[in-house]
Chain A
Amino acid sequence: AQSVAQPEDQVNVAEGNPLTVKCTYSVSGNPYLFWYVQYPNRGLQFLLKYITGDNLVKGSYGFEAEFNKSQTSFHLKKPSALVSDSALYFCAVRPSGGYNKLIFGAGTRLAVHP
């Protein structure tokens, strides 16, 4: 079955430190990969996506993500965390040939402490 795993329910980081939110996937073919962020009582906002090309993609708010095909991973990173980055982060995958459906991970709550 096709799936997306976010192995950490919560990630705690001190402000100013680098952060990583992990994502691995299990889909056939060459998938398209996405990261979304959700602030409390809000919808999801698009952060970045990997379609093809350079394995390191940059997105909104200083976030970036690295695609690793051999490890089937797409980890979200930021060099220096801000308290305002505290939110719920979702990784999503669109399998090739999967029309426009996205498969979402369960989400990782990021808490950045002052």
Chain B
Amino acid sequence: DVKVTQSSRYLVKRTGEKVFLECVQDMDHENMFWYRQDPGLGLRLIYFSYDVKMKEKGDIPEGYSVSREKKERFSLILESASTNQTSMYLCASSSQGATGELFFGEGSRLTVL
């Protein structure tokens, strides 16, 4: 079974802390994505990566950075967490090409106090 694994399902952090969210896929996919999900807003793209060490900003990159040192791993970093970053974070991957669907991880619910 194909799999996208997010390292933490639930995290509670304090304002100003640095937060790492990690995602690993076992499908040898070129593309990886980080989305943020908030009620009534659907999924909003934070960053995506189409190759190792390559990244592009999505729709809401402010306050976030990413790292992709290996093909299978894509990390989302909150340099200084703020309360408005409390959300569900979803990682996804897909093969190269426009017709492939995204495969999602189970999500990481982050609460910033």
Contacts and interface: CB of A to CB of B under 8 A. Distances in A.
Nearest to B6: A43
Interface residues of B, number: 29
B47 to A, nearest CB: 11
Given A43-B4, A99-B50, A100-B50, A90 B99 contact: no
A105 B43 CA distance: 7
B99 A104 contact: no
Instruction: State the main secondary structure of chain B at its contact with A.
Output: strand
Contacts of A4: 42
Interface residues of A, number: 26
Contacts of B94: 100
Contacts of A44: 43, 90, 92, 102, 104
Given A99-B98, A100-B94, 10 more contacts: A9-B40, A43-B106, A44-B92, A46-B102, A92-B43, A94-B98, A100-B48, A100-B97, A102-B43, A104-B42
